[in-house]
Amino acid sequence: MRELETSLQQFAEFLLRTRLAKPNTAPYLVRWVRHFLARPATDIPLADRVEQFCESLEREGRFVDWQIRQANQALRIYFLNFLKRPDWNQSVAAPTGGGAALPDPLAVLELVRTRLRTRHYSCRTEQTYIDWVRRFFEYLSTRQGQSLPSVSVDDVRDFLTHLAVQRHVSASSQNQAYSALLFMCREVLQLDITGLTPTVRARRGPRLPVVLSVPETADLLGAMSGSARLMAGLIYGGGLRVSECCELRIKDIDFEQGLIFVRSGKGDKDRATLLPEASREDLRVHLQKVAVLHALDRRASLAGVWLPDALERKYPNAGKELGWFWVFPSHVLSTDPRAGIVRRHHISDSVIQKAVKAAVLQAGIHKPASVHTLRHSFATHLLLGGVDIRQIQEYLGHANVETTMVYTHVVRDLRTPARSPLDLLQERQR
């Protein structure tokens, strides 16, 4: 019994270390494995035992379909990936159809992660792509008759169809999954994907951004306080993305020129944008507090903050300098997911997102406003003030002016509307 619990504990650590399951899902996978191992073993092949186990769960009537699929997934990960049992597929025929054989999906996940880092994809993109690839393998493992892990173009097409038809995901989510699987097929599996693009990429119609009026923006900012209020002011005053605001470093604030320098923004591009005068004094006071926190970290001999590319190796002490410290540091320490070092990271974007959501409710704003709405409002209000569209494009960091042109449609709606002909008719009749 003790050996079983030790094995299950190691399995739980394996799930978290390899990210084959989300942290909140891992305990349930461990519980399904424990439930399976508690049953008496038989002489039939292991894959057939798992199939019988899932059928028994279905006959009991206490579990819904997704729970049975989760149990099947837990056992496959436990025996195939964790224990690497060679007898899993003894009674199963090899797949046909020209797919790429994948004896170990975990190895594919690691290859995808390696290729993403080689191409300098962002950490967030890496996490998103890995998550979609993991979901894809979960889908393959639960398909009827898909006992051996293999991938073909038809499998990719079926998975994207499943997302659209059964899961009802949005067009943007479907295209995101498509991009992740396309990267896996091209860079890892070397699959021929000719003809896949026009059939599975979702079409998304034009959308107008949600924009607050000037009084609504004032009400929103007035309902906030502290660091969240300062962050919201910088996002609205400089047109920052939420990640760009969280990742600001002290050296990127230029009080004399009134500029904020965004480093390695979306598309790995640098740009300069406006530092609002209304936020400068509050920002100076905030940075004094940040300097105190930085001094405490240095006295505690903590590792320096994360540095991009190879700067940490080239300049070993740069991460300990105040200039490289975060403008909005986290109040707690965390482990760097790539380096495995305990250090201070920047504040999570969820902090400002939750603060803005609460402020929207408090201000009585009924629009579906979010943090990104402040960036939209920045561009729209500049257009209303007569600022050139090309200059706004540079502030926002758009590669094409066509992307910025969407705000011209919003401005047209915010300007004084035309008089309805019915109103004019009633005026004449008076």
What pLDDT shows up at residue 72? 81
Q: What CATH number corresponds to the domain at position 176?
A: 1.10.150.130
Quickly list DSSP for 271-319: EEEE--GGGHHHHHHHHHHHHHHHHHHHHTTPPPPP-STTHHHHSTTGG
Does residue 218 share a domain with residue 78?
A: no
* Residue, of 19 and 238, whose pLDDT is higher: 238
Q: How high does pLDDT run on average in the chain?
A: 83
Instruction: Respond yes or no: is residue 375 known to be catalytic.
Output: yes
Structural domain includes residue 429: no
Using alpha carbons, list the distances in angstroms from residue 275 to 247, 280, 392: 16, 7, 14
* Residue, of 278 and 51, whose pLDDT is higher: 278
What pLDDT shows up at residue 95? 40
Structural domain includes residue 418: no
**Which candidate in 375, 376, 381, 395 is catalytic?**
375
Does residue 218 share a domain with residue 195?
A: no
Which two structure tokens, joined as six digits, stand for 82?
């964790």
Does residue 372 share a domain with residue 234?
A: yes
Instruction: Respond yes or no: is residue 407 known to be catalytic.
Output: yes
Does residue 381 share a domain with residue 236?
A: yes
What angle do helix axes 2-18 and 26-37 make, rounded to 10 degrees? Answer: 150
Structural domain includes residue 91: no
Average confidence (pLDDT) over 37-58: 79
Question: CB atoms < 10 A from the CB of 341, how many?
Answer: 13
Alpha-carbon distance of 324 to 174, in angstroms, equals 37
Q: What CATH number corresponds to the domain at position 24?
A: 1.10.150
What pLDDT shows up at residue 148? 47
Instruction: Respond yes or no: is residue 372 known to be catalytic.
Output: yes
Per-residue pLDDT for 368 more than 90? yes
Model confidence band, residue 205 (pLDDT cutoffs 50, 70, 90) = low
Per-residue pLDDT for 232 more than 70? yes
**Which candidate in 241, 344, 346, 381 is catalytic?**
241
Structural domain includes residue 185: yes
Average confidence (pLDDT) over 399-421: 77
Structural domain includes residue 307: yes
Last residue of a domain, one of 200, 228, 259: 200
Does residue 150 share a domain with residue 227?
A: no
Number of domains in the chain: 3
**Which candidate in 271, 344, 381, 398 is catalytic?**
398
Domain of residue 43 covers: 2-82
pTM of the predicted model, to two decimals? Answer: 0.68
Model confidence band, residue 53 (pLDDT cutoffs 50, 70, 90) = confident
Model confidence band, residue 327 (pLDDT cutoffs 50, 70, 90) = very high
Does residue 274 share a domain with residue 150?
A: no
Per-residue pLDDT for 195 more than 70? no
Does residue 53 share a domain with residue 163?
A: no
Minimal CA–CA distance to 294: which of 259, 264, 262, 330? 330
Model confidence band, residue 93 (pLDDT cutoffs 50, 70, 90) = very low
Which residue shows structure tokens 């705000």?
A: 407
**How buried is residue 360: exposed, middle or buried, by Cβ count under 10 Å (0-12/13-18/19+)?**
buried
**Poorest-pLDDT segment among 86-95, 136-145, 384-393:** 86-95
Alpha-carbon distance of 331 to 306, in angstroms, equals 16
Per-residue pLDDT for 212 more than 90? yes
Does residue 220 share a domain with residue 175?
A: no
pLDDT digits (tens, 9 = 90+) for 333-366: 887 777 778 889 999 999 999 999 999 999 999 9
Instruction: Respond yes or no: is residue 398 known to be catalytic.
Output: yes
| Proportion of the chain above pLDDT 70, given as a percent | 88
Does residue 406 share a domain with residue 268?
A: yes
Q: What CATH number corresponds to the domain at position 386?
A: 1.10.443.10
**Which candidate in 69, 266, 286, 343 is catalytic?**
266
Minimal CA–CA distance to 104: which of 159, 149, 151? 149
Structural domain includes residue 92: no
Per-residue pLDDT for 173 more than 60? yes
Does residue 257 share a domain with residue 195?
A: no
Instruction: Respond yes or no: is residue 84 known to be catalytic.
Output: no
Structural domain includes residue 423: no
Does residue 375 share a domain with residue 304?
A: yes
Model confidence band, residue 74 (pLDDT cutoffs 50, 70, 90) = confident
**Which candidate in 35, 280, 343, 372 is catalytic?**
372
Model confidence band, residue 302 (pLDDT cutoffs 50, 70, 90) = confident
Structural domain includes residue 417: no
Does residue 104 share a domain with residue 140?
A: yes
Minimal CA–CA distance to 263: which of 283, 280, 243, 248? 248
